[in-house]
Structure formats: C-alpha cells, structure tokens
Amino acid sequence: MAGILIVAEVDAGVLRPEYWELATVARAVSASIPGGVSVAVIGADVAAAAQQAAGIGPDTLHVIDDERLANPWPEAHAAALIQLCGELSPQMVLAPRSILGAEIAARLAVRCGWPLLQDVVQIEATPDGGLQAVRPVSGGAVAATVRIGAGPWVVVPRPRAFAPAAASAVAEITPTRHAFAPPPFATACGTPQRVAVQGLSVDRAKIVVAGGGGLGGPEPFTLLREVAALVGGAVGASRVAVDSGWVQSTMQVGLTGKTIAPDLYIAVGISGAIQHLVGCSSSQVIVAVNSDPAAPIFGIANYGVVGDCKEVMTAFRDTLATRAAQAGRAV
C-alpha cells in the first residue's frame, strides 16, 4: 500500500510548477502517513518530465505514458489516476489545483468515495490517524478548519500556499510503467487550442500590475503594460475587465481566475470585491489606485493612491521611464 501519491501533471512536456509545492506538503505529513511518497506521472511522451519529477526523491515513481493522455482530457486522465489508485491503494492523493488537476481530483474522490479537500492552505496529520486542514471558504472571507478521519483522502492545495520544494540530489530511480487500460470513454477530446499568453504570465511574476473596471476600456491597459515592462512585471485583470473583452482571460485574478502571490500587486481601478481579493490577498505588498476613497480595496492595501487611474499611472510610468533612462546613462 502506498502512503502519499503525488499527481505530477505534465503540461506541454513540462511538469506544472505546483508539483514542487505538492512535494512540500507530502514532506510535511509523510512522517505520519506510513507507506512513503510515490509520484504518478500521467501523459504522453513524459520520460523527461518523469526524470524531473524524480528530483524530489520519491520512494516510487509510476508512469502511465499513452498517446490518449497527450491532451488535458479530464475523462482519460481521471481514468489513468483511478487505475493507479486501484493498483497502489494510496492513503493520500495530492493533486495540483490546475484546471485539469482539480477536475480529476474531484472525479477520483467521487468514484472512490474518498473525502476531497480542495484549496488547502494548511495541513497536518492528527494523532488519531486523520487530517486537519485549513481552507478559505465564502470567497476567502472565512478560513475553515476541517477535520477528517482515517484516509484515503484526496487533497488539492491552494497554489502558492506552500513553498516549492527544492529538487534533492538522489540516487536514480527506475520508474514503474503501467499500461493504460481505461474503461470505454463517454466523452471525446477535440484538438485543444493553446492561448498564447501576452507578455509575462501573472502566475509567476514577482510584480503584477492589474487593471479593473475603473480603466473604462482596453486602451488604458497599454499604460499598464508599459509600467509592467519597466518594472519587469506582468499585467493582470479583474473579471470585469475580462468579461468586457478588454483583455484575455489568462490574465484574470480571483476566485474564477488565478491565485497569485507576487512580491508587489498594483491594483488599478479595481474595487476590491471579495472574489478578486481571494486571488491576490497573499501578495507581499498591495498598492491600490482608485478614485473612490471608500473602495474596499483600500481595506487590504498596504499603500493607496486616491486619484484617477490614468493620471496616476501616467505619472508613475513617466517617473519609472525617467529613472530607467538615468540608470541607463549612469551605466
């Protein structure tokens, strides 16, 4: 019987970054869950990703490498994971909170009748052989402490809630290969269209400059892009900006967008609705620019500027550009 099984999701041949955060969670609870730490690499042509996944030094490494798993097809990936769980009988399955990861975790939990803990920000094993976890609920307004009894459990940590584990220098591990033997599929997978992210992705940027409804249209996002370029950051957006068609959905921060934790988050013309804050409240420093001094975003911001977003951001961009030019001359 396996102890902890980490789902190593592969995206375009590369391990998703959440994998290293899952490894941190596994290490934190592995002493209390007998059976060691195993990794499941599921996809097509995943040899390189499996080698990378071995970097955390798991006790066993399991690979299902099959052409039918080339695309993020939930039914096929869930079938592969359910198959592996049947063969390995893990006590805990750790899956990333990506679109695919969250879905196959839910499918696994339903199919096996195992408790599912989504969006976990803290977790520990309890002396009675159960788990205690903390997860935000009501759009992040409340932190709920959840206790569950004996496993198996399916756990999906919140992105960025746990520090990524470093790869450790370990002895080579030979992956155990499993032939994919799914039941007949009820769905089919079309050809996925990969949306090219314009500029740096908000997920990993250390500085994010995000715009909301207060920008009034797509044009002021050019200003935000100029500021982001000057500070080496990414441009994000609220749902209003995305739903209005001003920017692409990959930029959305919040409950139905991305959860980010940059060093600096600059919220421009964003009101601070709870569904937005849940995606950015873990930022180290939040700066808000808003014309309404009573905007809720000021309740969470470390620094606030009350003013028109175009005026403030134009002045900010010009100051940054001047300093960059001076620094360039100094070199």
Ligand X SMILES: Cc1cc2nc3c(=O)[nH]c(=O)nc-3n(C[C@H](O)[C@H](O)[C@H](O)COP(=O)(O)OP(=O)(O)OC[C@H]3O[C@@H](n4cnc5c(N)ncnc54)[C@H](O)[C@@H]3O)c2cc1C
| Residues at the contact surface with ligand X, assessed by CB under 6 A | 212-214, 238-241, 252-257, 269-271, 273, 275-276, 279, 289-292, 295, 308-309
Q: Which of 121, 127, 120 is nearest to 105 (CA)?
A: 120
DSSP state letter for 73: -
What is the smallest separation between the CB atom of 279 and ligand X, expressed in angstroms?
6
What is the smallest separation between the CB atom of 107 and ligand X, expressed in angstroms?
22
Q: Which is nearer to ligand X, 76 or 289 (CB)?
A: 289
What is the smallest separation between the CB atom of 46 and ligand X, expressed in angstroms?
31
For the residues of 150-206, what is the DSSP string, one character each?
A: SS-EEEEEPTTSSPPPPP------PPEE----PPPPSS------PPPPPSS-TTT-S
What is the smallest separation between the CB atom of 238 and ligand X, expressed in angstroms?
3
Q: Give the three-state DSSP class for 301.
A: coil
Q: Which is nearer to ligand X, 34 or 218 (CB)?
A: 218
Tokens encoding 113: 């009748």
Q: How far apart are CA 298 and CA 38, in angstroms?
A: 45
Q: Which is nearer to ligand X, 252 or 283 (CB)?
A: 252
What is the smallest separation between the CB atom of 315 and ligand X, expressed in angstroms?
13
Q: Which is nearer to ligand X, 34 or 217 (CB)?
A: 217
Q: Which of 191, 124, 121, 129 is nearest to 157 (CA)?
A: 121
Q: Which is nearer to ligand X, 52 or 259 (CB)?
A: 259
Burial 196-231, CB ≥16 within 10 A → b, else e: eeeebebbebebbbbbbbbbeeeebbebbbbbbbbb
What is the smallest separation between the CB atom of 141 and ligand X, expressed in angstroms?
12
Q: Which is nearer to ligand X, 59 or 308 (CB)?
A: 308
